[in-house]
């Protein structure tokens, strides 16, 4: 009754039942899983708590990643945010928190894969920053997470969320799309606006390759969480301003999958292309290998 696979189907359900996306996906999940509303809500609330905890942990200026390539960057932006800056507080706060979660992940801390560990900073970054800046409640944030989940569900059903299959557009691109839709929801936008924002964000990141240095989810992954967070916020603002995506959400998802399929294997998580084979990256990988063999 509340099942959907495509964005168009989701919007039809929203229209038919006069409900927003958060309620449709919640009812869909109840049907699919057989769990009660309270059970599903509690699980999502737990996810939000983990996201908030991972932000706190990632703000530690002394946190170091396993490979030593990232750590302390979230704290740098947090400090810089209080000075004269370019982006303004909301974006900088979202970037700070996105970096914090991705640095927590790189240090093997607990995070919520949203939709993957590599792209785990974007959604909490935006939601927690918006909550602080605009006074949203925990309940509103949980609802926004359901909206993000609906977008992720559609992408997973019609394309991929895996960097190994579709490049970073499938990970950070999907996360950015999910976060953009959720931000529109939080700001009172319509379901159509949410999917327009999701489409605009994913289009903006189409073709993004997966090229982790030395195969570690650190560089360029962590800073990419921050830059794609900015893409999500700007996409949400465009949709809220009334801009529609010329290419509908479902068609953008299909395009992302097609682009992923035509991407060379060395640009899909193999650390054999892109940033991963720059001289600096190769020197680091060699150094790491020599340290491991000494160990």
Backbone angles phi, psi at 124, to 5 degrees: -65, -35
Give the closest residue to 223 by CA, choosing from 75, 53, 98: 98
Q: Please tell me the distance from the alpha carbon of residue 75 to that of residue 107, in angstroms, as a whole number.
A: 15
Q: Please tell me the distance from the alpha carbon of residue 179 to that of residue 181, in angstroms, as a whole number.
A: 5
CA quadruple 199, 151, 161, 70: dihedral positive or negative? positive
Q: Which is nearer to ligand SF4, 150 or 267 (CB)?
A: 267
Taken as a whole, the chain contains a residue count of 295
Measured from the CB of residue 97, what is the shortest distance to ligand SF4 in angstroms? 16
Question: Which chain residues interact with ligand SF4 by CB under 6 A?
Answer: 118-119, 163, 168, 171-172, 210-212, 217, 221, 224, 269
Q: Which is nearer to ligand SF4, 143 or 203 (CB)?
A: 203
Measured from the CB of residue 269, what is the shortest distance to ligand SF4 in angstroms? 5
Q: Please tell me the distance from the alpha carbon of residue 92 to that of residue 136, in angstroms, as a whole number.
A: 18
Measured from the CB of residue 214, what is the shortest distance to ligand SF4 in angstroms? 11
Q: Which is nearer to ligand SF4, 69 or 217 (CB)?
A: 217
Measured from the CB of residue 114, what is the shortest distance to ligand SF4 in angstroms? 12
Q: Which is nearer to ligand SF4, 142 or 172 (CB)?
A: 172
**Which residues make beta-bridge pairs with 210?**
268
Q: Which is nearer to ligand SF4, 190 or 227 (CB)?
A: 227
Name, in order, each residue with C-beta under 8 angstroms of 8's C-beta and a sequence gap of 6 or more: 248, 250
Measured from the CB of residue 14, what is the shortest distance to ligand SF4 in angstroms? 30
CA quadruple 286, 226, 234, 111: dihedral positive or negative? positive
């Amino acid at each position: 009754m509340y099942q959907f696979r495509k964005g168009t189907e989701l919007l039809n359900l929203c229209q038919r039942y006069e409900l927003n996306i958060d309620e449709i996906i919640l009812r869909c999940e109840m049907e699919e899983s057989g769990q009660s509303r309270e059970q599903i809500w509690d699980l999502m609330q737990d996810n939000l708590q983990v996201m908030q905890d991972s932000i706190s942990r990632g703000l530690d200026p002394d946190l170091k990643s396993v490979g030593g390539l990232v750590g302390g960057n979230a704290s740098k932006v947090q400090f810089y945010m209080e000075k004269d800056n370019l982006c303004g507080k909301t974006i900088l706060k979202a970037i700070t928190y996105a970096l914090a979660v991705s640095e927590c992940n790189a240090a093997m801390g607990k995070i919520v894969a949203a939709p993957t560990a590599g792209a785990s900073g974007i959604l909490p970054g935006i939601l927690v920053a918006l909550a602080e800046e605009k006074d949203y409640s925990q309940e509103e944030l949980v609802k926004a997470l359901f909206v993000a989940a609906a977008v992720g569900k559609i992408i997973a059903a019609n394309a991929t969320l895996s960097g190994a299959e579709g490049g970073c557009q499938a990970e950070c691109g999907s996360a950015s799309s999910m976060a953009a839709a959720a931000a529109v929801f939080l700001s009172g936008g319509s379901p159509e606006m949410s999917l327009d924002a999701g489409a605009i964000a994913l289009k903006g990141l189409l073709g993004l390759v997966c090229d982790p240095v030395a195969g570690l989810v650190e560089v360029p992954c962590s800073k990419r969480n921050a830059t794609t967070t900015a893409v999500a916020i700007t996409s949400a603002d465009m949709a809220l301003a009334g801009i529609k995506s010329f290419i509908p959400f479902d068609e953008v998802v299909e395009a992302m999958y097609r682009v992923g399929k035509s991407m060379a294997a060395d640009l899909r998580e193999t650390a054999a292309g892109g940033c991963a084979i720059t001289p600096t990256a190769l020197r680091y990988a060699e150094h790491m290998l020599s340290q491991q063999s000494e160990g």
